[in-house]
Amino acid sequence: MPPKIQQTKAAKAAAALAGGKKSKKKWNKGKMKDKAQHHVLLDQPLYDRIFKEAATYKVISVSVLVDRLKIGGSLARVALRDLEAQGVIKPVIAHSKQLTYTKVE
């Protein structure tokens, strides 16, 4: 076996910097759901749309309004209280966490 050739300090430092350049493994593929852009303020066209469409639903809840009308949860709760006060909808289940309404025939 031939004798090893001793490297200089500069060559050793360059070799140390050259190693380990492989990038880290990515575990996800970058698929991310887009953040929903829901309305948080109630203006007149949105109010008219809620009043017209929500009265036709068979089952009305906060989650139904959020999903179908693209409004925020707090706005949906306010809309439900307003629709109930006007007599457009009536409560089916009045639980503190999940309010469920139906249309008035």
Structural domain spans, the chain: 38-104
pTM for the full model? 0.65
Cα angle for residues 55, 60, 64 (degrees, 5° grid): 115
Ordered strands of the 60-61 beta sheet: 60-61, 99-103, 89-94
Q: Which has more pLDDT, 22 or 7?
A: 7
d(CA 39, CA 63): 14
Residue 80 has pLDDT above 90, yes or no: yes
Is the distance from CB of 72 to CB of 39 less than 8 angstroms?
A: yes
- Whether domain 38-104 has CATH 3.40.1410.10: the reply is no
* Residue 19: pLDDT over 70: no
Q: Residues 42-69: pLDDT tens digits?
A: 899 999 999 999 989 999 999 999 999 9
Answer with the residue of higher pLDDT: 14 or 49. 49
Cβ neighbours, 10 Å, residue 60 = 28
The larger pLDDT score, comparing residue 11 to residue 83, is at: 83
